[in-house]
Structure 1
């Protein structure tokens, strides 16, 4: 028997409404600091109304609907309204180009596009190439000519009756596309049970309580905000705050305005926050913890915790793993230079290239044990080959390298694709990056390998300097030589003003390869 029963994120919402109907559930602050708030019951009513709008537009159970939206309360309303009628959300990045959107809408066979007025021009050139796409609805529409397709206009006319649609816990709720580097993005299918499991697992791991309020500043089209903050809040009957975009200068002040107690960041946003002029008043805030992912130096960790009086917890997870299988614990010693240890319901192992488990302190690929559609993604949409390569014999192959120490804590080594092969030796890009970033003049570094006829690959480092600091390539090379084995020292260091990044600040290393000046 399935101990979760036939629970869905919609039945969970109804359950919490009965317990906390008049409690503030969702707050949204836009770029002008205008705030809107919904109680649990008000949110459910809005979900039911928009569900009926979607049904009127002919959206049926199993249909895919593309969301091309910045963060907003109506992003969440759209997500739950689609789930309410058994349709499937396909969230996308507002920075995506027309050609990228043509692939995502076409590959997902989306029948409806939900976007904003300012993005309409993007879709004009590709509209004729999308035979499945029937209609477009608009959030925040000001132009009178688009009134009949505007969210607010349609929702005011709709009734709040609960749709008569049979839902199943195994139904797919969303298809989240992971960014591709050498191939097209792959769509991760996430079920009701995936979301329920994630809410339960994360809420217990970070002790999310009904009094907590999570703050989502990272883009909602990614799993981070959905998995690690929204679902735990709903699971325990807490609340959630959302900002339209991340602001390094405003982050702490946003947590104070919105009375947030839990945050989630990546390494790049942490560095951006630390680069701002420090306001000593920011040390007084409501935060009790901030979870984060990706590498941050020990000095930056210490600086953040001291300046803002809040503990950081590094975690490890992917869209495919759903819940983060590894986390630094709340109630045990933390080492935020590492990615933690398995959560209570998690099982992780490391294997070498021969498929054998590695020894302590030996790097290997991270494998996460899981049940597809329950504790890990159901699979990749319309890509059985990639699914079978990624999920084998109950294990999800992450493609990431880590090592485990005697204390049972895991330490990230590198993405497998970021391992540089130099004269027969494996070099982890992240190791070289960390050494470069130890120099006081360096703000951030990114290291890549490029083909080299003699040594397999040459090591190229791109460096952004701290404001008003300077250092020569020769001095940085000397810095590396005193701290790295000879074969790990970069062949070339290039100084740049910025890195190409994804919407959550991840450096797009495949684009850096086009910038190499040999």
Structure 2
């Protein structure tokens, strides 16, 4: 596409292209520590850590890993919530040329075993409460070393003294027997020098991260992201937020770092801009609102469910949220109703973006201070190409026609770890096949209809869940909604809506059906409605549509057994 129409809508301040530095990703931290040594890098439950202090700890961790025998290309797993220890382990691993494997602390042993065995990680950094789970998961392939930390290790006095008492009371206290294999994180750093250490890497080819995609069907695949993939995407995000100032911004770190969205737009970006990162180990809406009110963050990247929690909080007006200037929403579609209400409450800008793990992850976003379009994921980032192609033939689709979104840019992955066939399936001449159905308008704004696999085909009609969900979200009594296709012997599939109502609401199925009939073609109107207290979600807040479909399939199997 020689004439990319979206470039016409770039603000003057955003370059079409940029010369990204070829460097180790951890250089972001080194440079910021040199320029802003006494600036606060991390805030964690009352404890503040400066850039110079953080870098010292990172050097200690890197030297300690080296002493353990970790060398360039070795994989180190990190299974932690958002906390200083995770930041230290992440950049320390990168500095010695190691490859980070971010692992979700909520994973069950089967998932842990798959990730650690598949990646070949020999060392894991984790919490005391998770050691037993790791050992159980790795009975057949024991880890060479488990580096163990506790939340209290980085709490300020007297919280650090009170934490074990509270943990015992809550039945969460874990006593760890340290030995040559199970090491204390605090002691690990204490016994090591803070001498600068940076192993040379080839940024364009050497991996910084193996990030596993959500394994909703079968086992998750490891996405190979190089130093340059992540350096590029961090800088692309910064170019888009062109009004942000180095050494000034405060980032609300509610997105988990074990998800690549949080890793790029929060951790890497905060370190690149010498910002202050306010670490939120667990998203609890009351605590988040208090933190915004007290700490005054300026940037709050998140998932739609986080913003939904804010706008529906019964006492939201009690909190001062006016410090928030910019929020970028990702990981799931952002309902228009949520966007408008959040902006009204905070006075900040909430824009929808788009990305996927295989692209580090961001490829598109709406303009923050320029033209944006309702319901659109926006336009491609600098140096990013995008087009809509026929899912079978690969031919580019005419303007406005629906097809598969494909993207190309410096943030696109190297491939899937140890899966050359899977890599060939999604990478064609540098183009990444996203698996998402989309269309582009004449101004270069893109619209995601849905995942190809989530498309509902009922009576021969194509139905895009997002379109139906937008209508449901507009209803004043609907707090959350997700739509899925469930098996039907006559129509192929039926549209089913799963609804979470606002507290105190008495809206009925019939009322919702009438609401949808007034706003949708008759074949798109959900035939079945299920009211729930909550919806199954990932820790990032993405609703697990597949889980709902699996539940429906299980019901069908059980019903057929009864019929027999």
TM-score range normalised by the length of the shorter chain: over 0.9
SS of alignment partner, residue 264 of structure 1: coil
TM-score normalised by L of structure 1: 0.93
Tell me what 2:403 maps to.
364
Tell me what 1:165 maps to.
199
CA distance in 1, matches of 2:59, 2:127: 21
- Name which of 141, 162, 178 aligns with 1:146: 178
CA distance in 2, matches of 1:116, 1:305: 37
Give the structure, 1 or 2, with the largest relative contact order (CA under 8 Å, sep 6 or more): 2
Q: Is the 8 A contact 1:365 1:398 kept in 2?
A: yes
Tell me what 1:355 maps to.
394
Give yes or no for the alignment of 1:480 onto 2:516: yes
Q: CA deviation at 1:438?
A: 2.4
Give yes or no for the alignment of 1:314 onto 2:352: yes
CA distance in 2, matches of 1:451, 1:386: 28
Tell me what 1:137 maps to.
147
- Name which of 45, 56, 61 aligns with 2:67: 56
CA distance in 2, matches of 1:369, 1:279: 41
Tell me what 1:341 maps to.
379
CA distance in 1, matches of 2:341, 2:20: 42
CA distance in 2, matches of 1:336, 1:244: 32
Tell me what 2:240 maps to.
205
Tell me what 1:270 maps to.
307
CA distance in 2, matches of 1:388, 1:177: 18
Give yes or no for the alignment of 1:249 onto 2:318: no
CA distance in 1, matches of 2:444, 2:436: 18
Q: Is the 8 A contact 2:131 2:148 kept in 1?
A: no
Q: Is the 8 A contact 1:199 1:234 kept in 2?
A: no
Q: What does the per-residue CA deviation read over 1:375-425, in whole Å, with 9 as the maximum and x for residues that have no partner?
A: 211111111111111111121111112222233322221111110111222
Tell me what 2:9 maps to.
none
Give yes or no for the alignment of 1:105 onto 2:116: yes
Tell me what 1:297 maps to.
335
Tell me what 1:19 maps to.
35
CA RMSD in angstroms, aligned pairs only: 2.1
Q: What does the per-residue CA deviation read over 1:162-183, in whole Å, with 9 as the maximum and x for residues that have no partner?
A: 2363323132111110101222
TM-score normalised by L of structure 2: 0.85
Q: What does the per-residue CA deviation read over 1:402-460, in whole Å, with 9 as the maximum and x for residues that have no partner?
A: 22223332222111111011122211011122222222222211111123332222222
Q: CA deviation at 1:222?
A: 0.4
Residue correspondence of structure 1 range 382-421 to structure 2 within 5 A: 382-421=418-457
Q: How many residue pairs were aligned?
A: 508
Give yes or no for the alignment of 1:229 onto 2:261: no
Q: Is the 8 A contact 1:102 1:129 kept in 2?
A: no
Change in Cα spacing, 1:479 to 1:404, as seen in structure 2 (3 Å) is: same
Give yes or no for the alignment of 1:125 onto 2:131: no
CA distance in 1, matches of 2:476, 2:274: 45
CA distance in 1, matches of 2:19, 2:525: 53
- Name which of 53, 65, 70 aligns with 2:76: 65
SS of alignment partner, residue 145 of structure 1: coil
Tell me what 2:219 maps to.
184
SS of alignment partner, residue 81 of structure 2: coil
Consecutive unaligned residues of structure 1, counting only runs of 5 or more, are: 30-34
